[in-house]
Amino acid sequence: MVVDRVSDSFNPRRRHQDVQQAQQTIYDFLLDIVKSWPAADVLAEFKSLFLQHHETVSTNTVPALYAILFANDKKEFHNTLKRSCYILINNWEVAREYGAIRGLIQLFADPAIHKISVSPTIKRLRQWLKSFVESDDFQDLKLFVENRFSSEDPNWSRRYTAYLLAPQYIDTSNPLEQREAARALSQRLRNQFKFDLAMYTAHFQKMSTQRGRRDNPTMLGDSALRVIRALVAKRGMFSHRNLARIFHEQTHGLSYASYKNSLVEYLLFSAVKTEFVVTLENRLRAKLNGLYLKFNQKTLDPSLALLTSNRVIDYLMTEDAETPSSLFSLLLTNGRPLTLAIVLLKLILASPNSHPYLDARIADLIRYYEQFPREECQWIINFLEIYGVTLAICGSDVQYNLVHIQQGAAENPETASLDEYRIFSQIMKEFHWAPLTQSSSDRKDAGA
């Protein structure tokens, strides 16, 4: 019997099972209390367990933590702590306990982490805690508070947290709780921007004084209205959504080689054939002509279409997930952020499943450029702002319309001066959400 127990302690499979059981004990405990306890009490229990090494309400959690420590597997401890954090964040995000999320991150500034201990086990725990705080995973955690709660002037990239969260929710190796929390916060930030943009356009032209206007949620100044007018003017038969539908219908059953040619034509359809656009078309077509050659004679299928759309995103954004692609640099250094934004919009309208992949590539570029001072990044910031407006305007939950205001002038928004039109925004009925600072009259005003 003694021999069997000793052999079990050195059995990797048995040790792994013990660690998994210990992890589940901690997860179950946190999931139970976060759903029923006040947030302050949950934070106190979390601190007692991981940072102060005190007994918790459950008599099983401390032994479970020590079982993980005794297994001497830093990676599993790291995963346990990360998933524990996201169990709390995910539930608090749903309950709108945003202060609790901030409190959780602040716990890791506890001086107890840096205290010296003579206990080998406590020493190991504190070393692993310090390692966690210095990790990329902890930086990911901080994204949940920096956008909303930071009192300091953050790095310019924090404004684009909705994109920076994308790598977290598309990475299937992350805990489910982390992916869900990242996706929920990203969507909330996008919805907030769409709502604020609708309110800004509704109030800007309705009020004659600055006092009555809403804050501009973009960094484009009042030129944001010009961008909005240009986007809303594309209506009817040649709207971006309608073109995506037509593209789907016309490419059904095509060979893969023919599809690639049609894709380039679709993405640049209606673009004025300037020398720059011709250069872009030729370079994009050359990239696609050499893509997946063995499938050229086969009939297009959804998987191949998705892969192709993702490769186009690579060509337009970053081909190594780290540095800007040559086409990205070409577009932005030539002052064509709206051209790029519309091409990307048309791509994800034709391939909606590519949208998360595009967000992740945008995140890669933000990470690349955030090493530079803000004044050196104005062109990438300008693109991100225009792209954000483009998606918000062409989304389905806010309807924007142009209304002609000058008598006797041309009444086609695609041929008349866009200054002759005012923008009216209306939040659609299916737009179910409540922004953090929304007043009771805001929703009515947005449709004015």
Span 310-341, pLDDT tens digits: 999 999 999 999 999 999 998 888 888 889 99
- Alpha helix segments (H runs only) across 10-119: 12-36, 39-46, 61-70, 74-95, 98-107
pLDDT tens figures, 369-401: 998 888 889 889 999 999 999 998 876 566 666
What backbone phi and psi angles, to 5 degrees, belong to 299? Answer: -70, 135
In three-state secondary structure terms, 422 is strand
Q: Which amino acid is at 90?
A: N
pLDDT beneath 70: ranges in the chain = 1-12, 54-56, 147-154, 203-214, 233-238, 395-448
- CA distances, 377 to each of 32, 52, 329, 373 (Å): 46, 43, 12, 7
- What is the C-alpha separation between 178 and 82, in angstroms, rounded? 8
Query: How many degrees, rounded to 5, is the angle at CA 81 between CA 76 and CA 85?
Result: 145
Q: Quote the tokens at residue 376.
A: 């050196």
Q: Quote the tokens at residue 224.
A: 């944001």
CA 136 remoteness from chain centre: 17
Task: List, in sequence order, every beta strand (DSSP E) within 348-420.
Answer: 398-404
- Tell me the residue length of the chain: 448
pLDDT at 227: 79
- What is the C-alpha separation between 96 and 118, in angstroms, rounded? 41
**pTM for the complete prediction?**
0.83
Residue 200: which of 235, 227, 224 has the closest Cα?
224
